[in-house]
Amino acid sequence: MQRSVITLLLVLPIACNGGGTSSGTGTETGTGPGTGTGTTTESTGGETPTTGTTSPPVTTTTATASEPTSGDPTTGPTSTTATTDGPDTTTAATTDDSTTGEPAGDVYDPDEDGPWQYDDLAGEIDVDGEAIGVTAHYPTSGPEEGPYPVVLLAHGFNLPPTQYTNYATRLASHGYVVVNVDHAGYLFGPVDHVANANQLLAGLDWAAGHPELGPISDVDNAGATGHSLGGKISVLAAMYDARIKAAITLDPIDGANMCPNMQACPDVSGLLPIAIPLGFLGETLDTAGFMACAPAAENFTTFYAEAGPPALQVTVNGANHMSFLDDVASCGITCSFCQMPTLENAVVNELARAYVVAYYGRYLRGNAGYDTYLTGAEAQQRYVDPGLVTIAEK
């Protein structure tokens, strides 16, 4: 069917998340290919967690080359150059809300701002001739000096990076250097998810070489978080670059809508598992129906089904595909095609921010004290018991 510009606008719910035909299939929580056995624990509001048996993948794919390439995860790096603007003077409010945790360090409540003050600066990177904007939020003072773990942020298709600023500022206040990358994932640009992943990874090189960020950035201990298409390319980036040690994504979609070929838009869930912790937050309101925003055959559960342990799946009950943005009310037409959520945008955004902070506290800082906020007592009390989420882990 030929598509006019008007038609393209009508398919925004699919284009927005990179949806379309993919080789992934809808899978029940906790199952995956292979012949081994494992244990998957699910928690639901008002119920006692149950234990089932799953079949995790037999093979393990490790992260490959330390720098990305366009089109092939096993070959050399892309060429990048960077120019930057100076930092501004914005400073976050801080909090004393912390408790002494495991020997690895203190545990700070991820649902509150952490004890670090932070600043931000903007720049631009040239990645294979494409000008990619970047904004960094970084700690300036706090209970520990750097270098700090680095977290890459990837926006959803046709969505601005500014819709994820809440995640950046919360992470920076907990002692992370956050690079929010404006990759070329927009409606009227070329559709190339491999190129988008390389653009995201260029943020690590930019941070490492930046005079302000370089001395405080531990780019060899990095995470990747994205929403929708950004979630897919975050996992893809982790496959390309061993510097990424963990990834937690927000309603990722493993689609290939309007892609020229599968080389440009690979079936990422089909390439799992990889040898790093993976977390997936998602929803089920937008998984069915005409032009679903998050089709069941490509949604977050397909990533979790193929991921090896440790892996975490958090289903946010009552959220829709766009609920993970900072402010849906300012999103405009791009957000107007998804199902109406029954859970407030602010509630989902706060919950998701807390999970992202807790996940990186656990897997980039190696502090097991954050388990209580992921699957333990605090998660049960705050999210599971009130019926906000269902949790599965393996």
Instruction: For residues 197 and 249, give the distance between their C-alpha atoms in angstroms, rounded to a whole number.
Output: 14
Q: What was the pLDDT predicted at 64?
A: 33
Burial per residue of 122-158, b for 16 or more beta-carbon CB atoms within 10 angstroms, e otherwise: ebebebeebebebbbbbbeebeeebebbbbbbbbbbb
Cβ neighbour number for residue 236 with a 10 Å cutoff: 28
Contact between 302 and 19 under an 8 Å Cβ cutoff? The reply is no
Asked if pLDDT for residue 187 goes beyond 60, the answer is yes
Instruction: For residues 280 and 248, give the distance between their C-alpha atoms in angstroms, rounded to a whole number.
Output: 6
Asked if pLDDT for residue 256 goes beyond 70, the answer is yes
Question: Phi and psi for 89 in degrees, rounded to 5?
Answer: -115, 20
Q: What was the pLDDT predicted at 336?
A: 86
Asked if pLDDT for residue 8 goes beyond 60, the answer is no
Write out pLDDT tens, residues 132-182: 999 999 999 999 999 999 999 999 999 999 999 999 999 999 999 999 999
The mean pLDDT value for 273-297 works out to: 94
Asked if pLDDT for residue 4 goes beyond 70, the answer is no
Domains, the chain, ranges and CATH?
5-393 (3.40.50.1820)
Asked if pLDDT for residue 320 goes beyond 80, the answer is yes
Cβ neighbour number for residue 38 with a 10 Å cutoff: 16
The mean pLDDT value for 38-48 works out to: 45
Q: What was the pLDDT predicted at 104?
A: 64
pTM of the model: 0.79
Average pLDDT, the chain: 81
Q: What was the pLDDT predicted at 353?
A: 98
The mean pLDDT value for 29-46 works out to: 40
Contact between 252 and 280 under an 8 Å Cβ cutoff? The reply is yes
Residue 310: cis peptide before it, omega within 30 degrees of 0: yes
Q: What was the pLDDT predicted at 337?
A: 87
Sheet holding 244-250, edge to edge: 50-54, 38-43, 389-393, 311-316, 278-282, 244-250, 217-226, 148-154, 177-182, 130-141, 117-127, 80-84
Which is more confident, 239 or 7?
239
Write out pLDDT tens, residues 324-333: 999 999 998 8
The mean pLDDT value for 174-199 works out to: 96
Contact between 225 and 342 under an 8 Å Cβ cutoff? The reply is no
Write out pLDDT tens, residues 45-73: 443 333 333 333 333 333 333 333 333 44
Q: What was the pLDDT predicted at 43?
A: 52
Instruction: For residues 255 and 294, give the distance between their C-alpha atoms in angstroms, rounded to a whole number.
Output: 9
